[in-house]
Amino acid sequence: MMLNQRIVLFGRNGQLGAELSHFLIHIPDFWSFSSKEADFLRPEIVTEVLDQFQPEIIINTAAYNGVDRAEDLGEKEKALRINAETPGLLAQWAQKKKALLIHFSTDYVFDGNKRVPYLETDSANPLSFY
């Protein structure tokens, strides 16, 4: 399979990001970034990456995943910035530029009480801040 689109992937060093990078590395216009290179705590850096590379496809695998730590006051702000605010900026940028955004998230938005698999359209009912 050969893609001709410019692709940017965030979260290169995470489990999912590393696997996807392994398969996408052969695409000529593919760039991947770790949290050190595109820190989601500094959304202006992420926006600079998007503006520089002008991707047609954005893949976001970056995430704050400290489930237990997310309940602490200082970590709540960090979790919110990494998992909500900066991905929101990705969505705004993608919409403005007519780019495709592929965003991976967690199932922690659901309470786990449903007896059948959840759908994306199901109402969220998280049990914790995370």
* Mean pLDDT within 34-57: 96
Q: How far is CA 54 from CA 22, 61, 64, 117, 126, in A?
A: 21, 18, 25, 36, 35
Beta strand pairing status for 30-33 and 7-10? parallel
pTM: 0.87
pLDDT of the residue at 2:
53
- Per-residue pLDDT band for 69 (boundaries 50, 70, 90) equals confident
More confident residue, 11 or 104: 11
The pLDDT tens digits for 100-128 are 999 988 767 788 899 999 888 888 887 77
- Per-residue pLDDT band for 3 (boundaries 50, 70, 90) equals low
By percentage, how much of the chain surpasses pLDDT 90? 63
pLDDT of the residue at 19:
96
Given a cut of 80, is residue 6 above it in pLDDT?
Answer: yes
Q: Determine the topology of domain 7-105 in CATH.
A: Rossmann fold (3.40.50)
pLDDT of the residue at 16:
95
Catalytically annotated residues: 130
Alpha-carbon distance of 3 to 120, in angstroms, equals 27
Residue type, 17: G
Domain boundaries, the chain: 7-105
